[in-house]
Structure 1
C-alpha cells in the first residue's frame, strides 16, 4: 500500500519522503516504487507521457519520521492495523511536521482512537485501495473533532491525484470494509459449506454482479491474516454477523495467507 501511495503522489508531481523501518526495507521500497512507475510508463499510464525516472527523482527515503521535511503538508501512514502503532507513527510525524495533515490509511480502525493524544483537528482517515495506482477510490473518514478545512484540503488533494472521493463518518469498518468484508466472509462460509468451488463463487460475482474481482481472490490479494483481523475487530464492535468462519481461521493458522505466501483460496505462482 505504501509503495502504491508513493507512486500516485510522485505521478502527480509531488516530492515524497518515504519513511521505512530500516535501510534494507528502504532500498527494497525504492526498487518497488521505480518498478511500479516503469510498469505504468510501459502501459502509457503516467500523466502527459511523464518519464518514470524523472518522477522517481522526487523520492527521498528515510528511516525516521524525524527526517521528514518540516514543511510537509501531508503525512499518510500505511503501517499494519494496530492502533498503538499507528498513533506512535503519527505522533512522530506530528513532531517532525508541525503543520501537516495526519492521515491514516486504516481500512477499519477508529480514527478517533488513533487521534488520541495527537492534534485531533488535523487527523483523519484517507483510505486508499489496492492496487493504488489503478483503483479510483479514496474513502475519506472524518471524526467529530477534525477541522472542516482539513477535510476540504484532503478531498482536493485526493481529486488532484485523479481519485474519486467518498466521505464517511468514523464508524467500524467505515463503508467499504464493512460491506466488502461482509460479502467476503459469506463467500468463505459458502466455500466451507461446499456450496460451490472458489472459482465458481468468484465467477458468479464477476459475471453476475460486475465485480472486477471475486471476493475470494480479493481476500487472497488483501491477505487472509489482514481480513481475519478486520473481521475480528468488526465482530467485537458490531456483533456476531462478522464472526470469522472456521475455514478462514484454519488457513491463517496454516500460513496460507494469500498471494504473499503463494497459497490462499487460490494458488499464486
Structure 2
C-alpha cells in the first residue's frame, strides 16, 4: 500500500501545540486538513498562530509567500467530529488519557468510513489498549510526531497487537512523503524515543534533587560535554512538564514500577504549581520578558591534563579513552578495578 494521495483529506483532533503542528505539516505537504478541538475557537486560533509563525518565516526569507498562502488555504477549523466523515486519515492529538482516547475513537468509528485510517499521536500509551474497544482495531495505529512537529523530522509509526501491517506501511510512506523520517516500532512502553529518553531526564532530575548542581550547570554539562542541543531542564521546559511528567508516569507504570523510570518529585512540584515551562512562563527557568537566564557554575581555568592512568576495564566509560587520546592525552593502562586517574 502506497502513501495517501494528496486528494485525501486529513483530520486532526486536538489544536494544542502538537495537533496544530501536525495539521501544519499535512497542509504544507498538500492535503486539505480539518482541525477539530473541543474548546470553542481553539482550532481557529491555532490556525491564526500558524499564520503568524509562517509569516515570520516569510519575513526572514525562509519561505515563499505563495507557500504560506497555499498552506493556510488548506487549513479548515471544524466544530464537530461529524465534519471528519470524509477523511481518509484522522490523527488524534488530545490529552494523554487512555479512556478519553478510547471514547474518541469509538465515536469516530461511528462517523468515518470503513476505509478511514485512525492514528494516535500518543507518546507512551499502549496502541493495543487504545484500539481494544473498537469493532475494527486493525485500523488504528500510532503516529507519534515530536515537538515542534513542523521542525522535528522523526515520526514513530507504532503497531499494536491488532494493527494492520499494510496500514503501517501506508502511514510510513505518507509521512515520508510529508518530508519526515519515519521508523516502524511496536507498541511497547514509551515506544523507542520515550523509552530511551527517560534516563536522559531522570539522571539530571536526580542530581538536582540530591543537590549535586543547579539546573544551568547540569544543562551546560549535557550541552558542552555530552554534545546535546539542550539540557534536560531546558528541554522539559520546552516540552511542557504536564506532558513530560505524564509520559514518565506512564512508562514507570508500564514497566511495573521499575525504579529506573521513577518520576521526579521536583518535576511533580512544578506540575502541581502550574509551572509547566515555556507555555506557562515558568518552569525550571523563568520566561518573562524581564527574566535573565542564570549561568552555570564553573571552575577556574586550569591546565589541560597531559596524562591519565586507567586501571582495569572502565565498562561503559571505556569509549572515552579514544576521545582522550584524540585530544592529545597520554593514556597509561594498568591492571585494576576500573578506575580513571587524572
User: TM-score, normalised to structure 2's length?
Assistant: 0.74
The equivalent residue for 1:86 is: 101
Deviation at 1:199, TM superposition (A): 1.4
Q: 2:56 aligns with which of 32, 39, 43?
A: 39
Q: 2:260 aligns with which of 235, 241, 261?
A: 241
Deviation at 1:45, TM superposition (A): 4.8
Deviation at 1:37, TM superposition (A): 2.7
The equivalent residue for 2:110 is: 95
The equivalent residue for 1:52 is: 68
Q: Are the aligned partners of 1:140 and 1:155 in contact in 2 as well (CA < 8 Å)?
A: yes
Q: Are the aligned partners of 1:66 and 1:92 in contact in 2 as well (CA < 8 Å)?
A: no
Q: Are the aligned partners of 2:159 and 2:165 in contact in 1 as well (CA < 8 Å)?
A: no
Structure number, greater radius of gyration: 2
The equivalent residue for 1:263 is: 282
The secondary structure found in structure 1 opposite 2:118 is: strand
- Within a 5 Å distance, the mapping from 1:200-215 to structure 2 comes to 200-215=217-232
Q: Deviations over 1:123-177 (max 9, x none)?
A: 1110000011110100111112111110110000110111111111111111111
C-alpha distance in structure 1 between counterparts of 2:216 and 2:66, whole Å: 39
C-alpha distance 161-43 of structure 1, shift in aligned 2 (>3 A): farther
C-alpha distance 211-182 of structure 1, shift in aligned 2 (>3 A): same
Q: Where does structure 1 differ by over 4 angstroms across 4 or more consecutive aligned residues?
A: 43-46
C-alpha distance 246-115 of structure 1, shift in aligned 2 (>3 A): same
The equivalent residue for 2:152 is: 135
User: TM-score, normalised to structure 1's length?
Assistant: 0.93
Deviation at 1:105, TM superposition (A): 0.3
Question: 2:89 matched to 1:74?
Answer: yes
The secondary structure found in structure 2 opposite 1:140 is: strand
C-alpha distance in structure 2 between counterparts of 1:89 and 1:41, whole Å: 37
C-alpha distance in structure 2 between counterparts of 1:172 and 1:40, whole Å: 37
Question: 2:166 matched to 1:186?
Answer: no
The unaligned stretches of length 5 or more in structure 1 are none
Bigger fraction of residues in helix = 1
Q: Deviations over 1:61-90 (max 9, x none)?
A: 1121111142x2111000000011112222
C-alpha distance 89-40 of structure 1, shift in aligned 2 (>3 A): farther
The equivalent residue for 2:79 is: 63
Q: 1:23 aligns with which of 40, 44, 51?
A: 40
Q: Are the aligned partners of 2:189 and 2:251 in contact in 1 as well (CA < 8 Å)?
A: yes
Q: Deviations over 1:162-210 (max 9, x none)?
A: 1111111111111111121221122111112222221121122222232
C-alpha distance in structure 1 between counterparts of 2:197 and 2:119, whole Å: 22
The secondary structure found in structure 1 opposite 2:53 is: helix
**Greater Cα shift, 236-245 or 3-12:** 236-245
Deviation at 1:27, TM superposition (A): 2.5
C-alpha distance 155-50 of structure 1, shift in aligned 2 (>3 A): farther
**Greater Cα shift, 165-174 or 87-96:** 87-96
* Cα root mean square deviation, aligned: 1.7
The equivalent residue for 1:252 is: 271
C-alpha distance 49-151 of structure 1, shift in aligned 2 (>3 A): farther
Deviation at 1:109, TM superposition (A): 0.3
